[in-house]
Amino acid sequence: MITTGQIIRCKAAVAWEAGKPLVMEEVEVAPPQKHEVRIKILFTSLCHTDVYFWEAKGQTPLFPRIFGHEAGGVVESVGESVTDLAPGDHVLPIFTGECGDCPHCHSEESNMCDLLRINTERGVMIHDGESRFSIDGKPIYHFVGTSTFSEYTVIHSGQVAKINPDAPLDKVCIVSCGLSTGLGATLNVAKPKKGQSVAIFGLGAAGLAAAEGARIAGASRIIGVDLNSKRFDEAKKFGVTEFVNPRDHDKPVQQVIAEMTDGGVDRSVECTGSVQAMIQAFECVHDGWGVAVLVGVPSKDDAFKTDPMNFLNERTLKGTFFGNYKPKTDIPGLVEKYMNKELEIEKFITHTVPFSEINKAFDYMLKGKGIRCIITMGA
C-alpha cells in the first residue's frame, strides 16, 4: 500500500480535557514500529470505560487523549517482527493482550498477560515510550493501547485479534469488549448447569451479555437485579425471566432473592462495580454449591465485607477479567459462533451514529439510553 511506512493524516475525535465534548481534529498517525500494526478503523463503539476515564473520576487525568477500544477494522501495515498479521486482514483491537510468552499466556487458566494486560494510565506505546499520534508535532496520548476514535490507529500486535473476513465489522466490533466480558463471566467462570438459577446484578451491556450467557447455558431462571426498573423489558430479550429492584423492598436484596429461590441462586454475576452489589451477589448464592462472579471494577478505596461463615458454608467467590477469554486465541472463535448463529449480537446494538456525531454516543450513554451505539467511521 502506498501509505506503508508513511505518516497518515486522518480525522480523530480528541478529548482535550476531562468531561468536555470530543473535538474532531486532523491528526498525524506515525507508521507502526516493532511488534505494532496500523489499522484502518471502520466501526467503533462507546463503552462505559471510555466515559469513565473521559470524565477522569477517581484516576490520574491524562489529556489530550484519543479514547475508544471497542472496534473493528482492517490492517493497513505492519511493523518489524509482526508475522501473524498482514495488510488487508480483518481484525478486532482488544484493550488487553496476549504476548504468547509469559506464564499467564502459557497458562490455560489465565488471560492476564504480563506484558499487555490493560493499563489505563499508559498513554504511549511500550516499544519506545512514544505516542504514534500528534497534532502540529505535539503528542496526543493513547488509551488502553487501542485509541479507536481515530480513522487510523497503531496497536501492539498482541492486542489484535484476526477474524473471519466475512464477519460484518459493524456488528462483531462489540465482541472486542463488553459482550465478551459479560458472556465469558457466565460461560467460562460461573459455569451454570442446565436448569440452574442465575442472578445478574446490573443490566447494562456487560450484565445483559452475562444474562445471554446464562440463557445459552440453559438456566431455568435468570433474575435481573437493577435500580432502574425500565431496563426489565429490554432484559427479557436476553433471557431474563424475573426482575428485582432493591428499592422496592424493605429488606436486603440478598434476602429477597434467597426467599424467591428456596435458599439462594445457584450462580450470580455482578456487573455494576458497586461493592454493595458485590456483597449482595455473593450472599445471595445458595450454600453448599453457590458461585458468585465479580465483573465490575470497584472504586479504589472500597472494601468487601462479609461474614467468613459464608465461605465456610461452601459458597464460592470468583473474579474475572475480560470473561477469561484470551484475546488472540479465543475472540476469533466467538466471532465464528456469531457467524454460525450460535450467538446473537444485533440485539445489543440500539443506536448508530456517524463519526462526525460521536458526541451523541456519549449523550446516549450518559442518559442511559440504549445498550451499544455503533459509530460509523466513514460517515
Q: Catalytic residue at 284?
A: no
b/e map 211-242, b = 16+ CB within 10 Å: bbbbbbbebebbbbbbeeeebbebbeebbbbb
Cα–Cα distance for residue pair 160/169, rounded to 1 Å: 14
Whether 231 is a known active-site residue: answer no
Catalytic residue among 36, 98, 104, 113: 113
Residue of 48, 122, 127, 351 with catalytic role: 48
Active site residue 271: no
Task: Give catalytic status of residue 120 as yes or no.
Answer: no
Q: Which residues pair with 224 in a beta bridge?
A: 200, 243
**Candidate list 65, 96, 173, 177, residue with the active-site label:** 177
Asked about 373 being catalytic, the answer comes back as no
**48 labelled catalytic:** yes
**Is 70 among the residues known to form the active site?**
yes
One-letter amino acid at 26 equals: E
Please identify which of the residues 44, 96, 99, 215 carries the catalytic annotation: 99
Q: Please, is 42 exposed, middle or buried when counting C-beta atoms within 10 Å of its C-beta (0-12, 13-18, 19+)?
A: middle
The one catalytic residue among 3, 55, 102, 376: 102
Please pick, among 35, 104, 117, 156, the residue that the annotation labels catalytic: 117
Question: Which of 35, 36, 47, 221 is the catalytic position?
Answer: 47
Task: Report strand pairing: 221-225 vs 242-244.
Answer: parallel
- Angle of CA points 309, 310, 315, to nearest 5°: 135
Active site residue 69: yes
In this structure, are residues 189 and 324 in contact, taking their beta carbons and an 8 Å threshold?
Answer: yes
Please report, as a single letter, which amino acid is at residue 111.
N
Q: Which of 36, 38, 104, 105 is catalytic?
A: 105
35, 44, 49, 373: the active-site residue: 49
Q: Choose the catalytic residue: 65, 142, 286, 372.
A: 372
Name the residue with cell 504476548.
Answer: 99
Catalytic sites, residue numbers: 47-49, 69-70, 99, 102, 105, 113, 117, 177, 372
